[in-house]
Amino acid sequence: MLSIVYIGFGTNIGDRENNYRQAIQKLNASDGVSVSGSSQLIEYPPMGPPQPDYLNGVIAVSTSLQPGELLVELNRIEAALGRERVIHWGPRIVDLDILFWGDLILDTETLTIPHPGACERLFVLEPLAELVPDLIDPRSGKKVSEILASLRR
């Protein structure tokens, strides 16, 4: 059975547009994963220590993988593109986070779906609302576009 999953994308090191293209290529080359859409990339200031601005967006994928399997694949893609996990919220060549997986609510030691910060961050909500404004956050029951509007107030 295929699931539609929304993945947050971020990059602030190197050729950011190329990092995005490579991430899309690698996602499409993954067994059980197919990119079905993406938002525009938008520049945002970083969270955490001083560093270059990020390009952020959201990628929609269809997948036959289970959540843990997709997480392993996203981590593999990040590593293949040169991501090093050195500083929490530090600069990165690529960051791929599972944001939403239908109405799934999952809390494990290694994975939380929906992503715990998704509904609090403009760099997630703006591209997500562009792509799927009527997506419902299963924790709050609100549309992404409604959450974004309340955050902008």
- Give the residue numbers marked as catalytic: 83, 92, 95, 97
Q: How far apart are CA 121 and CA 45, in angstroms?
A: 11
Strand 95-101 and strand 3-11: pairing?
antiparallel
Any idea which residue has 């967006």 for tokens? Answer: 57
**Letter string b/e over residues 39-60, b meaning 16 or more CB atoms within 10 A of that residue's CB:** bebeebebeeeebeebbbbbbb
Q: How far apart are CA 132 and CA 58, in angstroms?
A: 10
How many Å separate Cα 91 from the centre of its chain?
A: 16
